[in-house]
Structure 1
């Protein structure tokens, strides 16, 4: 049995289970590298996108941004309908870990900062993986984003878990610290080899 009362694993999604980078989409639409760098730096910024994770509608955020950058209106408009194209391949080794844990009947959950609009088509596209999860809390649907402690409390309540029963993995140090502060064993993701070893050390039924 896992160490102590730990029985479940809670995953982040972006850059833990799948790569994500707006460059993956926009390098298909902007040929010039300098123009691409400037567009990603000054127009579709991470701060702008964070509004979607917090629950704002793309129709509103894109209209506001197009007013500021009318010369880029068409490129801005592509963000929503083509968002899945900004999601890269599976992170090496991580889907194997999900399958191994699921095969051992370890309850799997996720907490992801993700738009309430962009999540459903991505979830449907990747059902082969996400069907293994018992529940997933999506920030855009809740209008609460990591690292706000409220999203972890909501997730634990919905998952039916105590903090000391869960292990959480995320690539963002602030998100990890926030979960740790609530008593959730939390791992800063680096790669699948390290994560697998950490799970084995904690007593989960998985080969290191």
Structure 2
């Protein structure tokens, strides 16, 4: 990775712990009922529409109209959304800090995140201001893994794919970046990321 000049971080579950279970485990006594809810009502596909720019109000109202018997739970999804944030993933933030302080790389965030909710993260996490630039899906009305979303960041900050490293916990998003010629690390945990960065000379031993 000698030619790397810029590093792009995903945020959710790389730098910031996000888990709907923090809200819904207390709401569901029956684990099968919770499983049904996430597989059939508030699905990941539904959530991704908000990440791509649809309003929370519209999304919630549409789902309540379809599934009125689940109204309390549907409204809790965004009504209690801030409680899904478990805080910084401190070991990854420390890796981020070390890279930042080295001064060797430009640092960017590329995140699937509702434009209505991202300001909450900006209030909570000072390290979001360490980036040289951020591209938020809800603001652009497009999201990972669509190639045009990655291209927004590359174009906006004049980055060459072959000089860019991308870190994300989603294999789907990693594969999309690699299709564009971006070197990528599939994040699994901070230790694994640290070892990969040490091995490739991004971090100093």
Aligned-residue Cα RMSD (Å) equals: 1.8
Match of 1:59 in 2: 57
For 1:194 and 1:75, locate their aligned partners in 2 and report how far apart those are by CA, in whole Å.
Answer: 36
Q: Name which of structure 1's ranges 95-104 and 20-29 shifts more when overlaid on structure 2.
A: 20-29
Match of 2:116 in 1: 117
Alignment partner for residue 144 of structure 1, among 130, 142, 145?
Answer: 142
TM-score of the two chains, using structure 2 as the length reference: 0.91
For 1:36 and 1:170, locate their aligned partners in 2 and report how far apart those are by CA, in whole Å.
Answer: 27
Could you tell me which runs of 5 or more consecutive residues in structure 2 were left unpaired when the two chains were aligned: none
Q: Is 1:68–2:66 an aligned residue pair?
A: yes
Could you tell me which runs of 5 or more consecutive residues in structure 1 were left unpaired when the two chains were aligned: none
For 1:201 and 1:19, locate their aligned partners in 2 and report how far apart those are by CA, in whole Å.
Answer: 25
SS at match of 1:108: strand
Q: Name which of structure 1's ranges 31-40 and 167-176 shifts more when overlaid on structure 2.
A: 31-40
- Deviation of 1:32 after TM superposition, in Å, equals 4.0
For 2:176 and 2:39, locate their aligned partners in 1 and report how far apart those are by CA, in whole Å.
Answer: 28
For 1:172 and 1:35, locate their aligned partners in 2 and report how far apart those are by CA, in whole Å.
Answer: 26
- The aligned length equals 204
For 1:93 and 1:139, locate their aligned partners in 2 and report how far apart those are by CA, in whole Å.
Answer: 25
- Deviation of 1:91 after TM superposition, in Å, equals 3.1
Match of 1:16 in 2: 14
Q: Name which of structure 1's ranges 105-114 and 56-65 shifts more when overlaid on structure 2.
A: 105-114
SS at match of 2:78: coil
Q: Name which of structure 1's ranges 86-95 and 133-142 shifts more when overlaid on structure 2.
A: 86-95
TM-score of the two chains, using structure 1 as the length reference: 0.90
For 1:123 and 1:84, locate their aligned partners in 2 and report how far apart those are by CA, in whole Å.
Answer: 12
For 2:6 and 2:124, locate their aligned partners in 1 and report how far apart those are by CA, in whole Å.
Answer: 25
Q: Is 1:207–2:204 an aligned residue pair?
A: yes
- Deviation of 1:177 after TM superposition, in Å, equals 1.3
In the alignment, is the contact (CA less than 8 A) between 1:54 and 1:115 conserved in 2? yes
SS at match of 1:79: helix
Q: Name which of structure 1's ranges 29-38 and 168-177 shifts more when overlaid on structure 2.
A: 29-38
In the alignment, is the contact (CA less than 8 A) between 1:80 and 1:118 conserved in 2? no
Q: Name which of structure 1's ranges 24-33 and 160-169 shifts more when overlaid on structure 2.
A: 24-33
Match of 1:186 in 2: 184
Q: Is 1:80–2:78 an aligned residue pair?
A: yes
Q: State the Cα deviation string for residues 59-110 of structure 1 (Å, max 9, x = none).
A: 1110010011112223212222321211224335201101111111232111
Match of 2:107 in 1: 108
